[in-house]
């Protein structure tokens, strides 16, 4: 029997314990032996939780117990989670995590320690919650060059945009509703500013292209500036507004990586991803498109991915899974200035239509949805070219790429 410890007994940690115990027979069959949670580390008290003998407040108890071979980190953040993960790996213990911030910022270092100690550091749940995406990229798609990854990677922002599109709610009202339902935190910045999606783009790019991508290298724009007018113009373009995380590979091996809201054609499978669900479209040069869809968050959905990594650790306890990427020194991320696409742009002013016609002579004009403004869909322009046009136009109310 393998012994495990859970660090952090919040939503994912408690869900992981539930999955491991409710499906113990299936997990034992797939792992080759039973898996038991010996310790649960949390500074809080849980007086109504059964099995009080498992709870500890001192990480050293776990670190120094040779029976514990798998540590399940569900604490989140980069503070204690980083310290305890590093100490666990250095102690020769496998580590499983759902912590996308930690993997995005320190993944290369932690994977290197895992390799040195011949143990596993696995993180399927860090992207897409319960959706299998990391393991398929590492196994099933390895014969492909992954030319593009395009994903709805944050369920909170997808829910908010969905309520703006289908419910006619403005951003502030949709956000408040998401908070009341528990889909958004009291401080929603990581979600609505695109930070959470950025971390997931980093992890996907690390795996796809083999070199570390720091979050600061990924240009990131959230959804706080999206209005109901933008939603209405998207409808005219037979599109919906989605926050997308993207990577686009170039022939020289470099790639673009960014997060931004887009007009997405209703014919795209990503347009059908609603509510708090996630969808990730991976394009391989041999395969073509493959769509991964499912619950991007949630207690048991995320915990199921964590538990699958625990099983993988059991299966690979004698021969670690080969996972890793470079230290970022290849500088593969390109400046977004040269990335080209069609655009939507909306300008305010009595002369807005004339200004747009002059700036974008071959554009498709959209019907104004309110007085003294105009909007168009442009020809292909680079990011730098669009930024220059915006500076010249002034009074730009909205601007998004078209997918």
- Kind plus residue range of the DSSP H or E element containing 24: helix 24-31
Cα–Cα distances in Å, from 177 out to 26, 156, 160?
Answer: 38, 11, 8
- Contact present, 334 and 254 (Cβ < 8 Å): yes
What is the distance between the alpha carbons of residues 180 and 37, in angstroms, rounded to a whole number? 33
290/48 Cα distance (integer angstroms): 45
| Closest CA relative to residue 245, chosen from 234, 261, 231, 230 | 261
Nearest alpha-carbon partner for 299 in 75, 39, 14, 100: 14
- Cα 79 vs. chain centroid, distance in angstroms? 20
SS3 content of the chain, % helix, strand, coil (to 5): 40, 25, 35
Could you tell me which residues are beta bridge partners of residue 356? none
Distance CA 60, CA 88 (A): 10
Q: Find the distance separating the first CA and the last CA of the chain, reported in whole Å.
A: 50
What is 381-396 written as a DSSP string?
Answer: EEHHHHHHHHHHH--E
- Name the 3-class secondary structure at 41: strand
Length of the chain: 403
Q: How many CB atoms lie within 10 A of CB 215?
A: 16
259, 281 in Cβ contact below 8 A? no
CA dist 216 and 202 (Å) reads 10
Which residues are within 8 A (CB) of 399 and not within 5 positions of it... i.e. 6 or more apart?
343, 344, 345, 346, 386, 390
Q: What is the set of active-site residues? A: 200
In 213-254, DSSP assigns E strands to 219-220, 239-249
């Amino acid at each position: 029997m393998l012994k495990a410890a859970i660090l952090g007994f919040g939503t994912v940690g408690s869900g992981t314990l539930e999955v491991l115990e409710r499906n113990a027979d299936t997990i034992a069959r797939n792992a080759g032996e039973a898996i038991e949670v010996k310790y649960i580390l949390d500074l809080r008290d849980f007086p109504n939780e059964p099995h009080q003998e498992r709870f500890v407040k001192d990480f050293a108890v776990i670190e120094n117990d040779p029976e514990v071979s798998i540590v399940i980190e569900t604490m989140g953040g980069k503070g204690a989670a980083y310290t305890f993960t590093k100490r666990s790996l250095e102690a020769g213990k496998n580590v499983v995590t759902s912590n996308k911030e930690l993997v995005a910022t320190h993944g290369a270092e932690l994977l290197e320690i895992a390799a040195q100690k011949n143990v596993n550091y696995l993180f399927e749940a860090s992207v897409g919650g319960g959706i299998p995406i990391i393991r398929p990229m590492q196994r099933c798609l390895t014969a492909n060059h992954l030319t593009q990854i395009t994903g709805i990677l944050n369920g909170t922002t997808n829910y908010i945009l969905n309520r703006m599109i289908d419910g006619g709610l403005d951003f502030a009202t949709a956000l408040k509703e998401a908070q009341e339902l528990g889909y958004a935190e009291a401080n929603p910045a990581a979600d609505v500013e695109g930070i959470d999606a950025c971390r997931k783009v980093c992890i996907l790019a690390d795996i796809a292209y083999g070199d570390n991508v720091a979050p600061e290298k990924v240009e990131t724009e959230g959804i706080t500036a999206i209005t109901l007018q933008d939603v209405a113009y998207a409808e005219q373009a037979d599109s919906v507004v989605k926050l997308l995380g993207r990577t686009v590979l170039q022939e020289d091996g470099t790639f673009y990586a960014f997060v931004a809201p887009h007009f997405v054609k209703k014919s795209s499978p990503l347009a059908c991803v609603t509510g708090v669900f996630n969808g990730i479209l991976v394009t391989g040069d041999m395969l073509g498109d493959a769509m991964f869809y499912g619950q991007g968050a949630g207690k048991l959905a995320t915990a199921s991915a964590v538990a699958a990594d625990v099983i993988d650790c059991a299966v690979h306890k004698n021969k670690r899974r080969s996972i890793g990427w470079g230290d970022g020194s290849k500088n593969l991320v390109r400046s977004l200035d040269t990335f080209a696409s069609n655009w939507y742009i909306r300008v305010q002013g009595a002369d807005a239509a004339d200004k747009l016609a002059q700036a974008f002579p071959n554009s498709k004009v959209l019907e104004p949805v309110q007085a003294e403004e105009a909007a168009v869909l442009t020809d292909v322009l680079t990011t730098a070219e669009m930024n220059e046009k915006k500076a010249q136009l002034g009074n730009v109310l909205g601007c998004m790429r078209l997918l």
